[in-house]
Chains A and B, each alone.
Chain A
Amino acid sequence: MPIAADPTPTFADYEHPDRLVSTQWLSAHIGTPGLKVVESDEDVLLYDVGHIPGAVKVDWHLDLNDPVERDYIDGEQFAALMSRKGISRDDTVVIYGDKSNWWAAYALWVFTLFGHEDVRLLDGGRDAWLAENRETTLDVPDSPVTEYPVVERDDAPIRAYASDVLSSLGTIPLIDVRSPAEYTGERTHMPDYPEEGALRGGHIPTAVSIPWAKAAAADGRFRTRAELDEIYGEIVAQEKVIAYCRIGERSSHTWFVLTHLLGHSSVRNYDGSWTEWGNAVRVPIARGDEPGDAPSKQ
């Protein structure tokens, strides 16, 4: 039985208001049967310095990625992870994290690959919770192991591979959510993430630049519906969209905005992103401020 959505009035403007919860709502619902809270951060130690009471940690690198191949875990691994974390298939899962929910959005997107139905984000993430001096704990919950069913990952609706991007260049609009300097090719990596660079700089031809952070207000919460409509209006009008960044985490944030806040039904995240494209041999690249044209078919 799903838990009723957070009735916060500003959420009602979003297309799927049931995908967001406020800090107030979560405070009032901690401990509700059927509600599980998950923390997913970039910094692997943050959960251990204090987290929302009852929250379990899911690490993007250790838990969600396959340890050998560059891919996500499979259905059996996901079921084992959920069972270990005490999450049932029909639980309402609220995810939050650092950096305006980058990794929380990424985790939510991976949960969606496995069709976990009721998964929500805490608006504003970890920073919003701490800024309001809400309760945190060092206690790691000892959740009873659950029987989570093995559900095969279904990539097709929300995930794009490099081959999909290449074959649809010029037909499916692309959105590049990295920083402007990464888009133009001035930088081959994010400031201070030199180890996650690429051999070539620039962007995928035809991609428009809409940095992910435009969707976040100064306090890390999502911007209002009216503001988001302004930013993404032209993108939302397209029939299909593919978003990418560097390794797929910032574009998960944009995927969440387009899919759940603005109600676009066909957005895919190209998680290979620039660390794949910018290192690939013989793929077209555009440099500078302009999206550039799709190469004519050979």
Chain B
Amino acid sequence: MAEMPESLAEIVEDFAAVDGQNKLQLLLEFSRELPELPAHLEQAAMEPVPECQSPLFLSVDSADTDHVQLYFSAPPEAPTTRGFASILHQGLHGHSARAILDVPDDFYLALGLGDAVSPLRLRGMSAMLTRIKRHLR
């Protein structure tokens, strides 16, 4: 876990500390905590992404590479997606591009959600992280 920013490592520890149904409840709490998009991004979020039925909108502002700004939005009917986005937001927002690029691509395995969320769908979180990293390379 040495490669992870402390904020993300703490989230991983929180998930590791609870089991089964409580992990889902924790993910649900995260989904509720996903902040609204700033006003200047609201319009962009309403434009559909071609060939993509994902409900996730992602914007990465790396103008200041020491403090990368991450913005996510997902509809209420996709709470799992909101939960994943919220974990990445709380864990990585404001960190340096270097620190984000250093997060292991499989960090989500440590959340131990594989038994509660389908392991296949859980990899959607990894795909989200990959999309963020692509913006930073």
A residues within 8 Å of B by Cβ?
42-46, 48-49, 61-62, 67, 98, 127, 190-196
Contact = CB atoms under 8 A, between A and B. Distances in A.
A62 B25 CA distance: 16
A43 B83 CA distance: 11
Contacts of A98: 77
Given A195-B120, A195-B123, A48 B28 contact: yes
Interface string B64-97: 0000000000001111110100000000000000
B80 A194 contact: no
B43 interface: no
B117 A49 contact: no
B120 A48 contact: no
B98 to A, nearest CB: 26
A46 B79 contact: yes
Nearest to B127: A194
A48 B24 contact: yes
Given A44-B116, A44-B117, A48-B24, A191 B52 contact: yes
A62 B115 contact: yes
Contact of A45 (B80, B118, B126): B80
Contacts of B127: 192, 194-195
Size range of the interface on B?
20 to 34
Interface in B118-136: 118, 120-121, 123-124, 126-127
Contacts of A195: 120-121, 123-124, 126-127
13 contacts: A44-B24, A44-B80, A44-B117, A45-B31, A46-B79, A48-B24, A61-B117, A98-B77, A127-B77, A192-B124, A192-B127, A195-B121, A195-B127
Contact of B118 (A46, A61, A190, A192): A61
Q: Is the interface of B mostly helix, strand, loop or mixed?
A: helix
Nearest to B54: A192
Given A191-B52, A191-B53, A192-B52, A49 B76 contact: yes
B47 interface: no
Interface in B3-28: 24-25, 27-28
Contact of B79 (A43, A61, A194): A43
Contacts of A61: 117-118
A45 B83 contact: yes
A67 B53 CA distance: 28
A196 B80 contact: no
B115 to A, nearest CB: 7
A107 to B, nearest CB: 14
Contacts of B123: 195
Given A43-B78, A45-B83, A192-B54, 7 more contacts: A43-B79, A44-B80, A48-B24, A49-B79, A194-B127, A195-B121, A195-B124
Contacts of A191: 51-54
Contact of B27 (A42, A45, A194, A196): A45
